[in-house]
A and B are shown apart, each in its own frame.
Chain A
Amino acid sequence: MTTETTLRGALGGTPTPRRDSPRRSARARSVTSRRAGAPWAFLAPAIVLFVAFLAAPILYALYLSFRTEKVSGLGLGPGSRVEMWNGLTNYVNALADPEFLGSVGRVGLYGLVVVPVMLGSALLFALLLDSRRARARNFSRVAIFLPYAVPAVISSLLWGFLYLPGVSPFYWIFEQLGWDVPSLFSSRLVMFAVANIAVWGGVGFNMVVIYTALKAVPSELYEAAELDGASQVGIAWRIKIPIVLPSIIMTFVFSMIATLQVFAEPMTLRPLSNTISTTWTPLMKVYRDAFTRGDLYSASATSVIIALATFLLSFGFLRLVQSRAFGQEENR
């Protein structure tokens, strides 16, 4: 019926159905309008949830980031606090804040440690599991993936125990061996203490992503390569890695975002050490400003800056590598 109507319409006539009667035409129209409403009805729950729990809070945070609260006099008693517009002051202050810049620098260094180590190990494990000589494949896969299932707060508490020389079994062993191992909470090593937890928890997830991509590679490619005399390492290097490159790029973007947002690990380790400050990472600074200092306004501004930076870095990087990684697929 739809095709017919369209056809007639296209031929220039009014789109009247065949064997038409006034009653039927009215019903058809109402059916069409009801059909137009149906998708919205089905979308409504998702839209409501999206607006209520994502869009509205984001917009509200954006609104707050341009405002501030001013106190007068002693600030005691009602009416001594007034909320007002603050223009871009919160943003200017955040960008000029040495604590914020310090936290950004720290996270940059942290990313330089975490991302290559985590993705390198994930790729290595994925290739090993995919290699023909791998044994106990399922067990190994689960064993490597399992840490990802442990919440970051729990794993940080567990690792925190292992880092504290007074209670750590490792330090006890070092002591028995007569080794003098410095505390991982000393100012030089604390970065690695935090990075280790992130790598431990993140390798499994990234390995699964890359391993899944490897499984999708048709085995004819390997057979052909073997016939041409390629070694296993050669196959991995020249066939597997180039083919799974899009997955590696995706895991890289995910890891980059996770690095910018690192929070749970240092936050949990902080009370155990003297070397993790309350503004150790950008998100910890946001948390401190909002919930310790009660300054939602500057915390909102800092959050917006972090969100924009994450967005720009992710999409900038994707744009940069797009032509190289995905180009061959598009040209096919």
Chain B
Amino acid sequence: MRLTSGTKVAAVVATTALLATACSGGGTGGDDAADGPVELTFWTWTPGIEKVVDLWNAENPDIQVTVNKQDGGDPAVTKLLTAIEAGSGAPDLMQAEYQKLPQLVSAGALADISGEVSGDLAGHFPDGVWNAVTLGSDAVYAVPQDSGPMQFYYREDVFAELGLEVPTTWEEYAEVARAVHVSDPTKYLGTFSANDAGWFTGLTQQAGASWYGIEGESWTVAIDSPEVRQVAEYWGGLVEEGAIDNKPMYTPEWNAALNDGSQVGWLSAIWAPGVLAGNAADTAGKWRMAPMPQWDASAPATGNWGGSATAVTSQSEHAAQAAEFVSWLNTDPVAVQALVDESGIYPADIPASTAALADPPEFFANQPDFYELASQTAQTANPFTYGPNINVAYSAYNDEFAKATEARTQDAFVEAVEAVQAATVADLKNSGFSVNE
């Protein structure tokens, strides 16, 4: 009979344990810093970043940073937003992809550190990248870590075999695409991928588009702009005539096509060597990188595909110390060199990156000036502003451009641009944002 009360106790203990598990699992945002070092937690998914942070911890006994590894950009943002909603549990420092920043700022998750960082910080980064962390305002919501300037990657051997010149304008790119496909109907110079909204965004950024903007106290949405239409019409035309493939990237089929030479080129970003080495290992030494084909050859430009920044969260009680660490991590020559060596990133910081990136990536050993060229292209990235519901715009891109690439008509591509604009504006208004049309 003693069992009864015993079981009751057990049940209570079990319940408490469950509740405790449900409630714990947060970070250590606000430590008492009266005495002892300031403790900062850092959510990041950059590989090998612990070693870079160790350098800081060794030099700064008063500000100790603890890395808390995340699965990746999307899950980390979901976790952070949950912690912000809950009022506690957010880290002090947070890695975030550029396109996620407006959403995080809009949710009140990030601190404005413009008062904590030095005024010449902006000069370290290309305008296009700096714009992404300020949202075009006077505030500074993060410090850029790495960027993904876009370039054109192509199979040098196939080009030589077919006697093709590297295209410098989009007009030439179209001609080369036709020539490649005519030489062998199974071969394409590239594909239009409805799966990769970030890729298309980068292409429109190069053409001078900025999908969002801020006018006074209102957002503007310029997805249906002359620049985006120009890009959509161009690709729609190529897909319609069949000079370019219409299958998505990052499928087993696409990987195989890169490896067996059916895909002869790839409009990609600075991290492309890593992807090619993984997906098309048989083609080592056969690729070369060139600047993007241009709309206006006299004013070379590029866009960004990927990249992330380091932010201080609004729950941090040590914003000043956190901002100090963030500036060091992303602009100090020693830190940037360590990020390149340990994490293999392409740093956004211009002065430090030129020194840090001397040797070409292994997969591009045949191109010794790889990073010199990359650095030149990186500085031509056009300014671009992401908006608070870029997630909605991206998911609308997936659906609308999937329909258009399946339809294979130029008109369908233009209609897709209109549909993405409409879905994005409707969502902004529905959420209550003030929108200028």
- Please report A residues at the B interface, Cβ cutoff 8 Å: 31, 34, 37-38, 41-42, 44-45, 48, 52, 69-81, 160-161, 164-167, 186-187, 271-279, 288, 291-294
Q: Interface majority SS on B: helix, strand, loop or mixed?
A: helix
Interface string of B235-251 (1 = CB under 8 A from A): 00000000000111011
The yes or no answer to B25 lying at the interface (CB within 8 A) is no
Q: Which of B105-142 contact A (CB under 8 A)?
A: 105-108, 135
The answer to whether B108 and A81 touch across the interface, beta carbons within 8 angstroms, is yes
Contacts A38-B3, A48-B11 known; list 9 others, CB within 8 Å. Answer: A73-B218, A74-B433, A79-B108, A166-B253, A187-B406, A274-B405, A277-B398, A277-B403, A292-B395
The answer to whether A70 and B1 touch across the interface, beta carbons within 8 angstroms, is no
Q: List 14 A-B contacts (CB under 8 A).
A: A38-B4, A72-B432, A73-B433, A74-B218, A74-B433, A166-B247, A167-B252, A167-B256, A271-B250, A272-B248, A279-B399, A291-B78, A292-B395, A294-B391
The answer to whether B218 and A34 touch across the interface, beta carbons within 8 angstroms, is no
The yes or no answer to B320 lying at the interface (CB within 8 A) is no
The answer to whether B14 and A41 touch across the interface, beta carbons within 8 angstroms, is no
The yes or no answer to B277 lying at the interface (CB within 8 A) is no
The answer to whether B8 and A278 touch across the interface, beta carbons within 8 angstroms, is no
The answer to whether A70 and B256 touch across the interface, beta carbons within 8 angstroms, is no
Find chain B residues with CB under 8 A from A48 CB: 11, 14-15, 18
The answer to whether B106 and A41 touch across the interface, beta carbons within 8 angstroms, is no
Q: Which of B270-313 contact A (CB under 8 A)?
A: none
Residue of A nearest to B186 (CB): A166
- B434 is contacted by which of A74, A167, A293 (Cβ under 8 Å)? A74
- A44 is contacted by which of B11, B106, B218, B403 (Cβ under 8 Å)? B11
Find chain A residues with CB under 8 A from B230 CB: none
The yes or no answer to B427 lying at the interface (CB within 8 A) is yes
The yes or no answer to B257 lying at the interface (CB within 8 A) is yes
A-B CB proximity, top 6 nearest: A166-B253, A41-B7, A44-B11, A78-B108, A70-B432, A71-B432
- A75 is contacted by which of B4, B388, B402 (Cβ under 8 Å)? B388
The yes or no answer to B76 lying at the interface (CB within 8 A) is no
The yes or no answer to B214 lying at the interface (CB within 8 A) is yes
Indicate whether A70 sits within 8 Å of B253 (C-beta atoms), given known contacts A75-B388, A81-B108.
no
The yes or no answer to B169 lying at the interface (CB within 8 A) is no
- B431 is contacted by which of A37, A42, A75, A277 (Cβ under 8 Å)? A75
Interface string of B210-225 (1 = CB under 8 A from A): 0000100111000000
Find chain B residues with CB under 8 A from A77 CB: 105, 108
Indicate whether A166 sits within 8 Å of B248 (C-beta atoms), given known contacts A75-B106, A292-B391, A293-B395.
no
The answer to whether B248 and A73 touch across the interface, beta carbons within 8 angstroms, is no
Find chain B residues with CB under 8 A from A45 CB: 11, 14
The answer to whether A71 and B253 touch across the interface, beta carbons within 8 angstroms, is no
The answer to whether B402 and A274 touch across the interface, beta carbons within 8 angstroms, is yes
Output the least CB separation between A267 and chain B (Å): 13
- B4 is contacted by which of A37, A71, A276 (Cβ under 8 Å)? A37
Output the least CB separation between A36 and chain B (Å): 10
The yes or no answer to B179 lying at the interface (CB within 8 A) is no
Q: Which of B175-201 contact A (CB under 8 A)?
A: 194-195
The answer to whether A272 and B251 touch across the interface, beta carbons within 8 angstroms, is yes
Residue of A nearest to B391 (CB): A292
Output the least CB separation between B234 and chain A (Å): 19
Indicate whether A278 sits within 8 Å of B398 (C-beta atoms), given known contacts A44-B14, A72-B432.
yes
Output the least CB separation between A52 and chain B (Å): 6
Residue of B nearest to A272 (CB): B251
Find chain B residues with CB under 8 A from A275 CB: 402, 406
Q: How far is the CA of A78 from the CA of B109 in the complex (A)?
A: 8
Residue of A nearest to B218 (CB): A74
Find chain B residues with CB under 8 A from A277 CB: 398-399, 402-403
Indicate whether A166 sits within 8 Å of B257 (C-beta atoms), given known contacts A274-B248, A275-B406.
yes
The answer to whether A76 and B106 touch across the interface, beta carbons within 8 angstroms, is yes
Output the least CB separation between A37 and chain B (Å): 5
Q: How far is the CA of A278 from the CA of B395 in the complex (A)?
A: 7
The answer to whether B395 and A271 touch across the interface, beta carbons within 8 angstroms, is no
Output the least CB separation between B130 and chain A (Å): 18
Q: How far is the CA of A129 from the CA of B14 in the complex (A)?
A: 48
Indicate whether A44 sits within 8 Å of B7 (C-beta atoms), given known contacts A76-B135, A274-B248, A288-B395.
yes
Output the least CB separation between A170 and chain B (Å): 13
The answer to whether B399 and A164 touch across the interface, beta carbons within 8 angstroms, is no
Residue of A nearest to B11 (CB): A44
Output the least CB separation between B120 and chain A (Å): 25
The answer to whether B431 and A70 touch across the interface, beta carbons within 8 angstroms, is yes
Find chain B residues with CB under 8 A from A186 CB: 406
Find chain A residues with CB under 8 A from B106 CB: 71, 74-76, 80-81
The yes or no answer to B38 lying at the interface (CB within 8 A) is no
Residue of B nearest to A291 (CB): B78
Q: How far is the CA of A205 from the CA of B3 in the complex (A)?
A: 42
The answer to whether B15 and A72 touch across the interface, beta carbons within 8 angstroms, is no
Residue of B nearest to A292 (CB): B395
The answer to whether A271 and B402 touch across the interface, beta carbons within 8 angstroms, is no
- B253 is contacted by which of A37, A44, A75, A165 (Cβ under 8 Å)? A165
Q: How far is the CA of A291 from the CA of B77 in the complex (A)?
A: 11
Find chain A residues with CB under 8 A from B217 CB: 73-74
Q: How far is the CA of A279 from the CA of B398 in the complex (A)?
A: 11
Find chain A residues with CB under 8 A from B8 CB: 37, 41, 44
Indicate whether A293 sits within 8 Å of B256 (C-beta atoms), given known contacts A45-B11, A77-B105.
no
Indicate whether A167 sits within 8 Å of B399 (C-beta atoms), given known contacts A72-B432, A81-B107.
no
The answer to whether A274 and B388 touch across the interface, beta carbons within 8 angstroms, is no
The yes or no answer to B67 lying at the interface (CB within 8 A) is no
The answer to whether B314 and A78 touch across the interface, beta carbons within 8 angstroms, is yes
Find chain B residues with CB under 8 A from A44 CB: 7-8, 11, 14-15
Interface string of B11-25 (1 = CB under 8 A from A): 100110010001000
Indicate whether A74 sits within 8 Å of B219 (C-beta atoms), given known contacts A80-B106, A279-B399.
yes
Output the least CB separation between B145 and chain A (Å): 22
The answer to whether A274 and B194 touch across the interface, beta carbons within 8 angstroms, is yes
Q: How far is the CA of A165 from the CA of B218 in the complex (A)?
A: 48
Output the least CB separation between A150 and chain B (Å): 18
Find chain B residues with CB under 8 A from A164 CB: 251-253
